[in-house]
Each structure stands twice: as C-alpha cells, then as structure tokens.
Amino acid sequence: MAARLTAHLESWLGRWPPPGPGLHVAGSVQRSRPGWDGHVHGVVGVMTPDGGILSVPLEAEAAVSALGVEPDALIRSVPAALGRPGAVLGRGAFRWSEEPAHLADAGEWIARSDPRVPEWLHPFNGDVLVAWDEDGSYAGGVGRKQHDAHGHELSVGTDERMRGRGLARRLVAQAARRVIADGAVPTYLHAFDNTASARVADAAGFPDRGWQVLELFQPRG
C-alpha cells in the first residue's frame, strides 16, 4: 500500500516524498489542469510529521519557494505571494487505510445516473455506494474522488435519521475495500474539528497518523 500512496502523491502533487523536514514547494502542471470535479485546484499539499510537499502552479514555484520551508510561515505567506491576499491556505486531516475495518457491507454500488441517487452524490467519479433503509429509501452513501489511478478519496454522508447507528463507518470500510481491489489507495480527509468524521475514520480503519492536507480556498463573505 505504501507504493500506491507514494505513486498517488507523486502524481497528485508533482513530487513525493519530501526531501526533508519542513514544507517544500513543488511546481506541477496538475495545478493548472481540471481535477476530479472538473475544477482547477491551484494549491494543494500534504504534510507528514517528517515533512511535506506544497504543490503550486509551475509559474509560481520560484516565488513560493523563496518563502522558505518553515510550515507555519509558508502557509501564512502563500496567499499574498500568489496575488490572493484574501484567500486562506487551510489545513485538515489526511488519512489513508492499509486494512479497512472488517465490518459488514452496508450498501450496493450503483450508477450515479440512477434516479434514486441523491443529488449530493452526482459530482463524484464512477459508480457510487448507496445504502437503503428497510423501506427502500436512501439511508446513506459514499462517493469517490478519483484524483488519479493510484488514489481515491472517499466522501460519506448519511440521512439524518440514520445517524448514530454505525452506518457511515460500514459504508466507508466497504468503499475502501473496493478502492483497494481496484488497485488504488483509499484516502479520507476531514476538518480537524469534525469529530464525527474523525470517529468514522477511526472505526473504518483509517488511523490518524498526524498527516495533514492543505488547500487554498476563498472564505465566503
């Protein structure tokens, strides 16, 4: 699984592993190309306790590299260096699984075009995993962000009435097994303060290794 993760991060970020401690800048053509959702994600990064890579457009590599490799200082300075002083380089938890939890399957894989699939699952790649309640109504689902052939990020959602029953963790574990069977590494990202997502990740077999994901975004308002 380590080889798949390395291949994914090298493809997604343009360079991996980091050359040493600190947050190192890598210019990549991927930052100017549409991502999994058809939109350009101009700045993304991954940090580990031992170092990280911040992926930026090729034309910005020199300017951002000149800011140094100290993570906190670099993260604060990147928006202005890119001409976006109002933007924020946010951080979240980056998790991945080598062995999903041995939980019972909870859903079935169906086409996104199926009329029973809720709208929030429509933007994802490939088919989606959906669970139904005893009446055949939507109960929860998982979509895959297929960043490349080596790494697929999972997103889970459950109907409000189904929460607290362990459905989300079963869906995530089932989806992770599918990703592994397809030859990729399953990843799971969440905000640090999203304790519900953290519990799902822990229970589904995505341990917290202290890795972080970085992405530039424009705050609303």
| DSSP codes joined into one string, the chain | -HHHHHHHHHHHHS--S-SSSSEEEEE-GGGGSB-TTSSB---EEEEETTEEEEEE-GGGHHHHHTT-S-HHHHHHHHHHHTT-TT-EEEEEEEEE-SS--------EEE-TTSTTS-GGGTTSEEEEEEEE-TTS-EEEEEEEEE-SSSEEEEEEEE-GGGTTSSHHHHHHHHHHHHHHHTTSEEEEEE-TT-HHHHHHHHHHT----S-EEEEEE----
- Segment 148-167 mean pLDDT: 94
d(CA 170, CA 109): 14
Q: Look at residue 139 and tell me if it is in a domain.
A: yes
Q: Is residue 156 exposed (0-12), middle (13-18) or buried (19+ Cβ within 10 Å)?
A: buried
Same domain, 121 and 165: yes
d(CA 79, CA 217): 9
Q: Is residue 195 exposed (0-12), middle (13-18) or buried (19+ Cβ within 10 Å)?
A: exposed
d(CA 14, CA 7): 10
Same domain, 40 and 121: no
Neighbours of 8 (CB within 10 A): 23
Reply yes or no on whether the pLDDT at 141 is more than 70: yes
d(CA 157, CA 143): 9
Q: Look at residue 149 and tell me if it is in a domain.
A: yes
Which value, in Å, is the radius of gyration of the alpha carbons in the chain? 18
Same domain, 47 and 84: yes
Q: Look at residue 27 and tell me if it is in a domain.
A: yes
Same domain, 112 and 200: yes
Same domain, 112 and 193: yes
Specify the pLDDT at position 153. 99
Specify the pLDDT at position 163. 86
Specify the pLDDT at position 164. 86
Range of the domain at 35: 2-93
**How many domains does the chain divide into?**
2
pLDDT, tens digit, for every residue of 64-121? 999 999 999 999 999 999 999 999 999 999 999 999 999 999 999 999 999 999 999 9
Q: Look at residue 87 and tell me if it is in a domain.
A: yes
Specify the pLDDT at position 221. 65
Q: Look at residue 69 and tell me if it is in a domain.
A: yes
pLDDT, tens digit, for every residue of 4-25? 999 999 999 999 999 999 999 9
Q: Are 107 and 187 in contact (CB under 8 A)?
A: no
**End-to-end distance of the chain based on CA atoms, in angstroms?**
41
Same domain, 74 and 35: yes
Specify the pLDDT at position 99. 98
Same domain, 88 and 125: no
Token pair recorded at residue 146 = 């297929």
